[in-house]
Structure 1
Amino acid sequence: MRLAFIAPLVLSAMVVSGCQPTRIDDLLVSCPALTLPSDLADLTRYRAGSPPDLSTVVLDARVTAVDANCRRGRRDRSLDATISMRFQMDRGPAAPSRAVQIPWFLAVLDANDNVISRQSFVLPAQFGANTTRAAVSSQPVEISFPVGQHLRAQDYRIMVGFQLTEDELALNRRRGPR
């Protein structure tokens, strides 16, 4: 009776933190913290060589969700995570075609915020005919963390966001979160 009451609470806490277990054995697996800094959650691209205004927007995109699933690795010596991103994108009036490239990254940080590993990705996407808005999802990315006596899931942090140029990052910081 008591276990039946605790399991939904554990499951709810894990879903809120972005970790969705797939088996009952995984209910007690803790996921690393998942962060999406607000200044890396938006991407606005302008036509090259043009001043940034509404008429020169090529692409305006935002991260709408980060899906994470954690499970025990082999012999309980690792924690395996699967991460995927969901984006909403708007085609600007200066877009040369319906095809776009969405650059994003995933980084693993240690407890002192040192980058342990970093991977960059480019998601090719396409707007449908006569549409200016679309939702797309990345392919799942698998990462593994060593765990054991001295390392725990809480010793890591996963950071995700758009891969921005310096100008795009400065624009996001001036504009603030949307």
Structure 2
Amino acid sequence: MVKAWKLRGGVAAAGGALLLLAGCGGSPAPLLAEATAPCPHVAVLADAADLTRFRPGGGRDLTAMTLNASLAGFQAKCDYAPKHAGLDVTLTPAFTAERGPAAQGRTAQIPYMVAVAEGESIRDRAAYVLQVEFPPNVARVRSEGEELLIRLPGNPQEAAGKTIWLGFVLTPEELALNRERGPR
């Protein structure tokens, strides 16, 4: 299943390049159909690349850990949006999850987010939940999140200048732990 979301804001026209191509006497459609779309920079946010949860009131040692998850990577591909609507980025994140000794049950819900940034400003953000099930006698699983379709409106070259960030949705305590122990 593909889940789509659009970047909020006005859609900038990509007409200048099309007018230039039209002036060459040919239709721009065949040229765009064969062209490779540019891609924005897609990256994992270092401070939000790991999620470790502990049993409430149990401290922060291994015996109190209920879940340890990591963003293991992603698959991304880019294409021109239909009707010159911008750039479409199809993104599928990958995760590893480990069931801790203090875990109750065989499932975990892992919140993660995808954000689109332009320079230092976040332009849009969407949150998702990955449902993980641990089979009997299995403590570590690898799972993919849902396939996401992100539409970056406007000129494809300008859209490719944005950055797409992936990371877990963390509590202040979980973020502090990640910053304390550093990247893994």
**CA distance in structure 2 between the aligned counterparts of 1:118 and 1:42, rounded to whole angstroms:** 19
Larger Rg: 2
**Residue 50 (1) aligns with residue 58 (2):** yes
Name which of 177, 181, 184 aligns with 1:175.
181
Structure 2: 5+ residue runs without aligned partners?
A: 1-31
RMSD in angstroms over aligned alpha carbons?
1.8
Letter in 2 for 1:133: R
Letter in 2 for 1:148: N
Partner of residue 88, structure 1: 96
Distance 1:27 1:129, change over 3 A: farther
Letter in 2 for 1:153: A
Letter in 1 for 2:158: R
Letter in 2 for 1:134: V
**CA distance in structure 1 between the aligned counterparts of 2:144 and 2:115, rounded to whole angstroms:** 18
**CA distance in structure 1 between the aligned counterparts of 2:74 and 2:35, rounded to whole angstroms:** 20
Task: Give runs of ≥4 in structure 1 deviating > 6 Å.
Answer: none
Q: CA deviation at 1:155?
A: 2.9
TM-score, normalised via structure 1 length:
0.80
Higher relative contact order (CA 8 A, sep 6+): 2
Partner of residue 41, structure 1: 49
Structure 1: 5+ residue runs without aligned partners?
A: 1-23
Partner of residue 20, structure 2: none
**CA distance in structure 1 between the aligned counterparts of 2:174 and 2:33, rounded to whole angstroms:** 43
Identity between Structure 1 and Structure 2 (%): 36
Q: CA deviation at 1:167?
A: 0.6
Q: CA deviation at 1:35?
A: 1.7
Q: CA deviation at 1:26?
A: 6.2
Distance 1:172 1:27, change over 3 A: farther
TM-score, normalised via structure 2 length:
0.78
Distance 1:175 1:107, change over 3 A: same
